[in-house]
Structure 1
Amino acid sequence: MPALAVAYAVLLYAAAAALVVGVALRVRLYLRTPAPLKIPTTPAPTTQRGVALLLAREVVFFESLFRSSKWTWIFGWTFHAALLLVLLRHLRYFQQPVWQPVVLVQAVGAYAGIAMVAGLAGLWARRWLVDRVRYISTPSDHLHLVLLLAIGLSGLAMRFVRHTDIVALKAFTLGLLRLDLQPLPADPLLLLHLALVALLMAIFPISKLLHAPGLFFSPTRNQADNPREQRHLTPWAAGPGRN
């Protein structure tokens, strides 16, 4: 087996392990972190069903961001929606046979990468052009956007500028899933793209990008506004003599 395939297999296995274990540990930390105060952002739903609908609207439509800043919402929602299509399109490299919904998304997913990069460019421009956002931006904020842009641009380059051997690439990715390593095309753009993706997977659990699962554990979003009807008491505070 070529050393290149072995090296990238080790890199991707390690990155995937860091992603899964890191996110699991973070979620475990979120679950164990007490929320001693009742602090839903008003106006807030008064029932758990309403909370579920609120979270659904936040995940799908970015409702609070829409109310806060229309320009940020446009770029942010465009990026996330396009990213979803890009990820769905990439599922074809891990399936044989390919599911019909994944086949149907191929035509749209090919151009979703352009929308993803456009959304990222808008979000990065915001970091420089809006005074109050530039003031609170840290180097890591810029580096995360640069990394995502580099992944998107390298992917678009392989799609529209210099094509790679996708048949060999699919054989390699399927081999990773089946623990049966196959040769990896020695395409510089592909190698750069995979290395950047591995880096993103590795840093995801320790970066601000973890807001994806973190949204569901935010007490301003996941609490019902019912302090008069029901006393809020965290499990760690419920001890002997307390009610």
Structure 2
Amino acid sequence: MRVLTTAYALLFYFATIVLVAGLAWRIYEYATVPAPLKIPTTPAPTTRRGVIFRMGREVVLFESLFKSNKWIWLFGWLFHVALAVVILRHLRYFIEPVWSWVVFVQPFGVYAGFAMVVGLLGLWARRFLVPRVRYISAPSDHLMLALIVAIGLSGLGMKFIARTDIVAVKAFFLGLMRFDVQPLPADPALLVHLTLVALLMIIFPFSKLLHAPGVFFSPSRNQVDNPRERRHLAAWAARMDRQPGE
């Protein structure tokens, strides 16, 4: 038991470091890539406030995807909303006492688990059933979807089939946060679920899933459509303007 607990403690410390450092580095890369042109997708807002509202609709409602393809939007939006609820439900393992609104979310999180898997299966089926999407789908695309589906199914399995000691699980994760590692239950379903989650944390910063923070740095979404009113000048171009000409 002690060896198992230590192994999973080290695994999650490593996964957390990779996730945080990887995300920080990729966000830094996104933020420092120059945008030499004004390329907002039109019709685009002409004010900064309009850009904020547009970005909000894009992040919360997937507005452009809704306009493009209703079926993909349905499964994609269902998955992302359900995933958000599931993550909120899992906050109870990392806080003590549990906040009242987290308690309120708990029953909805169970249904969200089913919705998350349904949304994922719909998106996965698209990669088999739509010829042009099947043609461009790489093995990594299927493996990523399989990984997240397996996480969802293993989590639901622990809820309805192979239950585990969630009090001990919470003590384990609170102990990790306090650097006071507590014993982890050795239930196979739990170990499979945690292994898959740690694997996702490790590969997330290097995968296509990184569109989550990347959308905020997309020049086609975050730029104001005012090329006539204001000259767009990238930082590197501004430095060239300040240099004496030949």
Q: Bin the TM-score by the shorter chain.
A: over 0.9
Measure, in 2, the Cα distance between the counterparts of 1:189 and 1:241.
Answer: 61
Tell me which residue corresponds to 1:214: 214
The one-letter code of the counterpart of 2:3 is A
Tell me which residue corresponds to 1:153: 153
Deviating runs (4+, > 3 A) in structure 1?
Answer: 240-243
The one-letter code of the counterpart of 1:71 is W
Aligned residue for 1:238, secondary structure, equals helix
Tell me which residue corresponds to 1:73: 73
Instruction: Give, in angstroms, the shift of residue 236 of structure 1.
Output: 1.0
1:241–1:148 CA distance, 2 compared to 1 (3 A): closer
Instruction: Give, in angstroms, the shift of residue 136 of structure 1.
Output: 1.0
Aligned residues: 243
User: Quick check: 1:232 aligned with 2:232?
Assistant: yes
Measure, in 2, the Cα distance between the counterparts of 1:81 and 1:166.
Answer: 24
Instruction: Give, in angstroms, the shift of residue 163 of structure 1.
Output: 0.6
The one-letter code of the counterpart of 2:204 is F
Tell me which residue corresponds to 2:32: 32
Aligned residue for 1:45, secondary structure, equals coil
Could you give the per-residue CA deviations for residues 163-190 of structure 1, whole angstroms, max 9, x where no partner exists?
1110111111110111101000000010
Measure, in 2, the Cα distance between the counterparts of 1:2 and 1:240.
Answer: 61
| Unpaired runs of at least 5, structure 1 | none
Aligned residue for 2:183, secondary structure, equals coil
Measure, in 2, the Cα distance between the counterparts of 1:96 and 1:50.
Answer: 40
Measure, in 2, the Cα distance between the counterparts of 1:183 and 1:239.
Answer: 57
The one-letter code of the counterpart of 2:173 is T
User: Quick check: 1:196 aligned with 2:162?
Assistant: no
Matches within 5 A, 1:76-87: 76-87=76-87
Tell me which residue corresponds to 1:116: 116
Matches within 5 A, 1:11-50: 11-50=11-50
Instruction: Give, in angstroms, the shift of residue 239 of structure 1.
Output: 2.2
Percent identical across equivalent pairs? 68
The one-letter code of the counterpart of 1:188 is P
Tell me which residue corresponds to 1:185: 185
Tell me which residue corresponds to 1:131: 131
| Unpaired runs of at least 5, structure 2 | none
Measure, in 1, the Cα distance between the counterparts of 2:42 and 2:145.
Answer: 31
TM-align CA RMSD: 1.1
- TM-score, scaled relative to structure 1: 0.98
Aligned residue for 1:44, secondary structure, equals coil
Measure, in 2, the Cα distance between the counterparts of 1:76 and 1:57.
Answer: 15
The one-letter code of the counterpart of 2:159 is R
The one-letter code of the counterpart of 1:75 is F
Measure, in 2, the Cα distance between the counterparts of 1:145 and 1:158.
Answer: 20
1:163–1:240 CA distance, 2 compared to 1 (3 A): closer
- TM-score, scaled relative to structure 2: 0.97
Instruction: Give, in angstroms, the shift of residue 240 of structure 1.
Output: 5.3
Measure, in 2, the Cα distance between the counterparts of 1:109 and 1:57.
Answer: 24
Instruction: Give, in angstroms, the shift of residue 110 of structure 1.
Output: 1.3
Measure, in 2, the Cα distance between the counterparts of 1:136 and 1:48.
Answer: 36
Could you give the per-residue CA deviations for residues 32-70 of structure 1, whole angstroms, max 9, x where no partner exists?
110101100000001111000000001100000000100
Aligned residue for 2:115, secondary structure, equals helix
